[in-house]
Structures are given as C-alpha cells and as structure tokens.
C-alpha cells in the first residue's frame, strides 16, 4: 500500500486526472489556478514540483495575476496585490478585545494537526487556550471572504479545525454568506465593519463558551 501511494493514482485513465490533486484536495485554492497553465488543477498535487512556475488569478480581483509555486500557495500565501501589511484596524481591534477577555490570546499563530485534510497548516486570526481547550476566532471581512472560492476555503478550513478538536468562532461581516456549519463547537457571529463592536463580540463568545461548559457537565 505504501509503495502504491508513492505514485500518482489516476482518477480518470482517459483524461489522466489524479486522486489527491489540487482540485480535489483544495478546491478553493484550485479556483485561482490559471487556465494559462499547461495542465489543469486536476493534474497536480497541492505540494507538487512542476517544470513550470504556476500562474494564479485572484478570486477576489481577477485583474491580479501572478506566479508562485504550489507549495508556497498551499502553505497559505495569498494574492500579493491584495495582501495588506499586517491586519486591518477592525481585526486589530477584535484581537485587542480578545486579549482583554481571554488573557494570552495570540494573533496569526500557525496551526498544524494530523486531522487536517485540506492543507498541512492553517493560520489563525486569534487563538487562545480556554480552560485547556483551544479556541480559534476568525474575522471574515467582506473584501476577502465574499467570493465563492473564498467561502469554500472558509468551509474547508473550519472543517479541518473542528476535526482537530478546536472550538471555532467566525466573525463574518454582514454581506458575507453564512457557512451553514452544524456543530456544537462552532459559532458564527454577524459583525459590521462600519460600526464594529469587538468587546460585544467577545462577550458573546464568552457566553457561548459558558453554555458549552454547562452542557458538557
């Protein structure tokens, strides 16, 4: 079995698409794979070496086109034109509120777990140990998270985090579609960038955590 997994396994012998391809493993990222590339996202693995440098088209702004290796993108690199230095003021305000409510809250921690199936690692907007359990809080702004490919990535990321045992909260701006995730360890809160209330969001998270603790007793 191990020797069999050393080689690409064909999903379709006619079109030579492979199991475990980028399109199969990470469809949100595959949506940014440029049609100008000599093969499709069904023909390469997420961390494969290629004889060409892949071209990518930003799902948020299709005018943004750049090149980058599969491994770099699968490890979380985003569109260089969209990428901002650091975090937005709204995200920073929510992290500050998290630090007040949950001492020790971290920003930008890289998470790795064997339970992850889409990517080997994910970065967390806010992470903190709460009573021996790891809480992840993601801030989903409209600009970065409204496109279907980004919504799919949010779903896959959340599924990975839940599979690894994390408690997950997503703060989604009003125009961003809900993820429709059904789990007692998942909470989704509507937030508004024009009138942010980070302290209120953290109080709602704290209340939710208290309810979880009571239910598990």
Q: What is the pTM of this model?
A: 0.74
Q: Does 132 lie in the same domain as 61?
A: no
In a domain, residue 83? The reply is no
My answer on whether 203 and 114 are in the same domain is yes
Structure tokens at 118: 């889409």
Nearest to 202 by CA among 105, 73, 123: 105
pLDDT in tens, 188-202: 999 998 888 999 999
Taking CA atoms, 169 is separated from 52, 65, 70, 122, 185, in Å, by 39, 32, 29, 15, 8
Q: Is residue 16 part of a domain?
A: yes
Last residue of a domain, one of 74, 108, 123: 74
Residue numbers of the domain that contains 151: 89-216
Q: Are residues 65 and 96 in the same domain?
A: no
Whether residue 117 is found in the same domain as residue 60: no
Do 207 and 170 belong together in one domain? yes
User: Phi and psi dihedrals of 183, rounded to 5?
Assistant: -155, 140
196 lies in the same domain as 109: yes
Tens digits of pLDDT across the chain (217 residues): 344 344 455 555 555 667 788 998 899 899 999 999 999 999 899 988 899 999 999 988 898 898 989 998 988 888 877 765 456 788 889 999 999 999 999 888 889 999 999 998 998 999 999 989 999 999 999 888 989 999 999 999 999 999 999 999 999 998 899 998 999 999 999 999 888 899 999 999 999 999 988 777 6
């Amino acid at each position: 079995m191990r020797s069999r997994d050393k080689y690409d396994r064909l999903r379709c012998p006619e079109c030579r698409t492979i199991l475990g391809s980028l399109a199969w493993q990470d469809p949100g990222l595959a949506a940014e794979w440029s049609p100008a590339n000599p093969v499709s996202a069904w023909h390469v693995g997420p961390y494969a070496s290629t004889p060409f440098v892949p071209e990518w088209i930003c799902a948020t702004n299709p005018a943004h086109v750049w090149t980058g290796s599969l491994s770099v993108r699968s490890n979380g690199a985003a569109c260089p034109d969209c990428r901002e230095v650091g975090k937005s003021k709204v995200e920073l305000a929510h992290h500050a509120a998290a630090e007040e409510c949950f001492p020790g809250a971290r920003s930008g921690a890289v998470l790795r777990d064997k339970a992850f199936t889409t990517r080997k690692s994910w970065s967390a907007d806010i992470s903190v140990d709460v009573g021996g359990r790891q809480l992840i809080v993601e801030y989903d702004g409209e600009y970065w998270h409204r496109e279907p490919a980004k919504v799919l990535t949010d779903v896959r990321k959340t599924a990975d985090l839940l599979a690894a045992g994390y408690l997950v909260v997503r703060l989604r701006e009003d125009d961003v579609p809900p993820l429709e995730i059904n789990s007692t360890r998942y909470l989704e809160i509507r937030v508004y960038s024009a009138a942010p209330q980070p302290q209120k969001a953290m109080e709602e998270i704290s209340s939710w955590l208290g309810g979880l603790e009571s239910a598990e007793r």
